[in-house]
A and B are shown apart, each in its own frame.
Chain A
Amino acid sequence: MIEKCKIINKLGLHARASSKLVQVTNKFESEIFINCNGIRANAKSILGILSLAASCGTTIEVEAIGSDCKEAINSIKKVIEDKFGEKE
């Protein structure tokens, strides 16, 4: 299952946001990847996500493979849309 999603928090996928994202993805059984800027990263790895250097306004592709892929993608979209809890 693949869905597109836009990074809308001001700072993009920097250290803190990436930490939050990895904490979400690691709750799921599915294998999860993020495709962005021509790089495919394991979304359960903080180093993977950081290497994307996705800034605000970047559209990323979230890909989940496994039994709970749908829940995984919904949760990921939610944390991204919540701007990772940042106040701005």
Chain B
Amino acid sequence: MSIGKKGIAVSHGFCYGSIVLLNKARTIVEKRKIKKNEIFNEINRLQVAVEKSIDEVSDLKINSDYGLKSEHIDILDFNILILEDEILASEVIQKIKNDLINAEWALNDVLTNKSKNFANIKDIYMQERLADFYYIGERIVKNLRGANDHSFEIKNNSILVAHDLSPIDTLKYCQNEKVKGILTDLGGATSHTAIIARSLSIPAIMSLHNISHTLKPGQRAYVDGYKGIVTWKTNKEEKIQMESLREEYLLLEENLLEFSKLTGQTNDGALVSVKANIEITSELNSAIRYGAEGIGMYRTEFLFTSKDRFPTEDEQFEDYKKLLNTNHFDEATIRTLDIGGDKIKNLNIEESNPALGLRGIRYSLANIDIFERQLRAIFRVCAEEEKKIRILLPMISNIDEVIKANEIIDQTNKDFMVSDFYTIGVVIETPSAAILADEISNHVDFISIGTNDLLQYILAADRTNENLSNLMSYYQPSVIKIIKQIKDNVGNQKYISICGEMASDILSLPLFIGLGFNELSMNSHSIPIIKSAMNELSSSECKEIVNTCLDCKKAVEIEEILRKFINDKILKAKNLMKYEI
């Protein structure tokens, strides 16, 4: 009999392969007894590895002066001081001598003990530095092993299994064709690792708890990235079932690809552009594959947080260029940095409530050099590609911010003179901006409603809080009314889009069509279904359904009406809706 385990399906696909265990916890540290005459050699290995580690961190510090804030330098200094620390070195050496064990194990042991001590200190700054301990330990262990690290080898048809997988490692291991699936103990759909897995079209399941302790290297398993189930120890009969499941999924993908070729329009000819939200430029391939009619929002946060420092103007230029360097899109939308204390710890912004803190445009206006550098990179792409970039400003709450941002944009453009190749839009996501939508829209070229944050702020509810899941509904009358108000205030003359998860919600689709939105921007894999559904709806029916919903007093009533409507009208995409895609 087979064994199955369910986690969260974060990247669709189905595969059968053999397990490659990347690490049990973080780095595997092996314990090895040494002889007395090896002590000197072991201590020497340790010292060489520590010195190499110090050099590496110092290099980071020297090579990253561009865009590095003093807080980042402080963190690197802190790392160097720990590496140089006499106590650390002497305790590890003592352990090697007394216990006659290898340097890796001794170091791991001392660092684990130290971090346990610090874990008891109730100070958030110390807690955050605990991660540095692991980081430092891993760096030294890596250098202790030197170039002779052949702890695993990736063969054809491998399934990577790890406790946790960093985005960088995911990219590193998965860019060869040999990796067919990913399984991790931790993580969820919004983690960057999940996004990268999706962008590379590798089936991935996360939140599988102790899968990295359960599966053995070389074991063969099925990864069902649609349902989030991993299955192993299958017998002959079960293998046949699995193969028929594979056929089913192949058919599903064929359907999706068929739908992806459709144009985003209703059956009575109203055009609604269906575009993709992406977080890294390597997602462009899957956006194109699933029929995106453009990039509706490129979130730039991952680019800014994937290294120990912010990207240089050149690095940003090279990255943004990829958006337009394709025959598929004539324009792309770049959202300027929407960063806050919650998204990047290295910023060291002290805030008790980062969701209401210095983030989005507020951060950009407080750090004009960073904002200008991003704009310069965008303008260079405009000049070189001669295609249009839509600049999207996040977290606007009043006119002052729009005017100030516009001034900086105008000023920066003086070096490039590319006004014909960019437009400016704002994300309406604060209640304040929603109220001021008509005035704000007078200062910009287009408007985008950021539903994720708007819902959170309108309902004063954290969307990750499970106790509030009833309240956090797309169908709350207040949510639908505010979206209608924004649309009415902005008027029919200005281009307006929905970006955020609600854009991919099939039940909300009739509302967006009925209200007359020009564009929906969503995760790529939702595009085919939304396109197919849209082609089965008429804008006149959708207008009626909007009015019916606006008369309802309760979220459950609205949801019921929309569900019935969709069930009646949507036929082609219906059999795909059960796959949670």
Contacts and interface: CB of A to CB of B under 8 A. Distances in A.
A22 B81 contact: yes
Nearest to B348: A16
Given A16-B74, A51-B117, A46 B123 contact: no
Contact of A47 (B82, B121, B125): B82
Chain A contact residues, majority secondary structure? helix
A12 B123 contact: yes
Q: How extensive is the interface on chain B, given as a class?
A: 20 to 34
Interface residues of A, number: 19
B126 A53 contact: yes
Contacts of B123: 12, 14, 53, 55
Contacts of A53: 121, 123, 126
Given A19-B81, A22-B81, A42-B87, A50 B126 contact: yes
Contacts of B118: 50-51
A23 B76 CA distance: 13
A36 to B, nearest CB: 13
Interface in B104-152: 114, 117-118, 121, 123, 125-126, 128-129, 132
Contacts of A79: none
Given A14-B123, A50-B118, A19 B74 contact: yes
B385 interface: no
Contact of A42 (B77, B86, B125, B132): B86
B436 interface: no
A45 interface: yes
B416 interface: no
A18 B114 CA distance: 16
Interface of B: 74-75, 77-78, 81-82, 85-88, 114, 117-118, 121, 123, 125-126, 128-129, 132
29 contacts: A12-B123, A14-B123, A14-B125, A14-B126, A15-B75, A15-B78, A15-B125, A15-B126, A15-B129, A15-B132, A16-B74, A16-B125, A19-B78, A22-B81, A23-B81, A42-B86, A42-B87, A44-B86, A45-B85, A45-B87, A45-B88, A46-B82, A47-B82, A47-B87, A48-B87, A50-B121, A51-B117, A51-B118, A55-B123
Interface of A: 11-12, 14-16, 18-19, 22-23, 42, 44-48, 50-51, 53, 55
Given A19-B74, A42-B86, A50-B121, 16 more contacts: A11-B125, A15-B125, A16-B74, A16-B125, A19-B77, A19-B78, A42-B87, A45-B87, A45-B88, A46-B81, A46-B82, A46-B85, A47-B87, A47-B88, A48-B87, A50-B129
